Amino acid sequence: GQENPFNTILSSKFYEVQKYLSVTNHVYSPWIVTVSKRWWDGLSATEQGILMDAAEKARDAEREDTRREASQALAALKERGMQINEVSPEEIQRMREQAQPAIQTVIDAVGQDLFDQVQAEVEKAAP
């Protein structure tokens, strides 16, 4: 078994030795833009607005590109003979229930409020 994005499975030719692929959608690896607070606070409101607008446009373009690339790679994997297992919502829920002890560890470390905030943002970003 292995865990990779569809395009990595395709480019690495894992389909040559791996017959099955389960689509679980359990990982999302965003590209994050960060700057120091000191630097950010040194910018004018206009400069901050320009950078925020650019970051939002880049985010939207990255999401569109990533989803398009994943869809194309998944189709190519099917063409190459991989059997694709689309995991049902019920099975995803069962997996979440089984993962609850690990999730609780995260909640204990970061707090329920921050965890809930992140989960709400994940739901908004979902395709």
Q: Output the CA torsion 110→112→117→122 (10° steps).
A: 80
User: According to the model, what pLDDT value does residue 29 have?
Assistant: 77
Q: What are the residue boundaries of the structural domains of the chain, listed by start?
A: 1-87, 89-127
Q: Which of 40, 24, 29 is nearest to 87 (CA)?
A: 24
* Percent of the chain residues topping a pLDDT of 90: 80
Distance CA 68, CA 60 (A): 12
Q: What is the pLDDT of residues 32-82, one digit of tens each?
A: 889 999 999 999 999 999 999 999 999 999 989 999 999 999 999 999 999
User: According to the model, what pLDDT value does residue 13 have?
Assistant: 96
Q: Which residue would you say has higher pLDDT here, 26 or 23? A: 23
Q: Extract the tokens encoding 104.
A: 């609780």
User: According to the model, what pLDDT value does residue 49 have?
Assistant: 97
Which SS3 state, helix, strand or coil, does residue 84 take? Answer: strand
Residue spans of beta strands (DSSP E) within the chain: 20-23, 83-86
Q: How confident is the model at residue 26 (pLDDT cuts 50, 70, 90)?
A: confident
User: According to the model, what pLDDT value does residue 40 have?
Assistant: 97
Segment 2-25 mean pLDDT? 93
Which SS3 state, helix, strand or coil, does residue 107 take? Answer: helix
User: According to the model, what pLDDT value does residue 127 have?
Assistant: 66
pTM over 0.75? The answer is: no
pLDDT at 27 over 90: no
